[in-house]
Amino acid sequence: RKEVEQDPGPFNVPEGATVAFNCTYSNSASQSFFWYRQDCRKEPKLLMSVYSSGNEDGRFTAQLNRASQYISLLIRDSKLSDSATYLCVVNFRTSGTYKYIFGTGTRLKVLA
Amino acid sequence: DGGITQSPKYLFRKEGQNVTLSCEQNLNHDAMYWYRQDPGQGLRLIYYSQIVNDFQKGDIAEGYSVSREKKESFPLTVTSAQKNPTAFYLCASTQFGTTSEAFFGQGTRLTVV
């Protein structure tokens, strides 16, 4: 089983739609969680960190469910500019070091 | 401005040659990482380093080597033993710890010709 798994998509949604992505992780010792956004042929950029209590940033809401070992990202009122790949990232400690493991990404295309 | 710089942006290599990709950061971050990304794929961890003079293999280290002689620098060598090196290579750095986000360089696109 992969350490971090995401549905690769693509998700094609109309402008204004609400879309949700899930990401599951296998290591119960995972300690921090992030969503990154990656545009085509560019480096990933942090979209938001994910906290146990859930957090919201404008149209974006992230949730963490430690019991079920998944994190989610909800995008409301989708804009054309939200079209990108969304990467789930999990950080966990192993043998005294920290590893950042990325999911394969979920592609989102918002259609006019 | 603080940041992380990768060079070159594009690199062409003949089969059988070793090439070294540069990654430098002035963020005073302890940890640095190298990832490989293939078209339509996520990022796969090649090597990472938490402190100077120490590094660990990631999930796909075969055919690659690294060094960490200085805190700011973490070069990656793609050796001739790497059978399929054409890919997008990303370097990242973080503060050591559990909650820090990873900052990325702009990537190096390596093509074997």
Q: Which residue has the higher pLDDT, A26 or B22?
A: B22
Of B23, B41, B42, give the one whose Cα is nearest residue B33.
Answer: B23
Q: Say which range, A38-52, A93-107, B28-42, has the weakest mean pLDDT.
A: A93-107
Q: Is the Cβ–Cβ distance between A12 and A19 less than 8 Å?
A: no
B42–A42 CB contact, under 8 Å: no
Residues of B in contact with A101 (CB under 8 A): 45
**B8 upstream amide cis, omega within 30 of 0:** yes
Distance, in Å, from the CA atom of A60 to the CA atom of A62, rounded to the nearest integer, reads 7
Q: How confident is the model at residue B2 (pLDDT cuts 50, 70, 90)?
A: confident
The number of C-beta contacts closer than 8 angstroms across A and B is 61
Residue in B58, B98, B104 closest to A44 by CB: B104
pLDDT at B1 over 70: no
Question: In this predicted model, what pLDDT tens digit does every residue of B82-103 receive, in sequence order?
Answer: 889 999 999 999 887 656 788 9
Per-residue pLDDT at B85: 93
CB atoms within 10 A of CB A98: 20
Q: Is the Cβ–Cβ distance between A97 and B36 less than 8 Å?
A: no
Question: In this predicted model, what pLDDT tens digit does every residue of B19-54 receive, in sequence order?
Answer: 999 999 999 999 999 999 998 778 899 999 988 999
Q: Which residue has the higher pLDDT, A53 or B78?
A: B78
**DSSP state letters, B45-111:** EEEEEEETTEEEE-TT-TTEEE--SBTTB--EEE-TT-S---EEEEEEEE-SSSSPPPEE---EEEE
Residues of B in contact with A100 (CB under 8 A): 33, 45, 48, 92, 94, 102
Q: DSSP code of A90?
A: E
CA distance B78 to chain A (A): 20
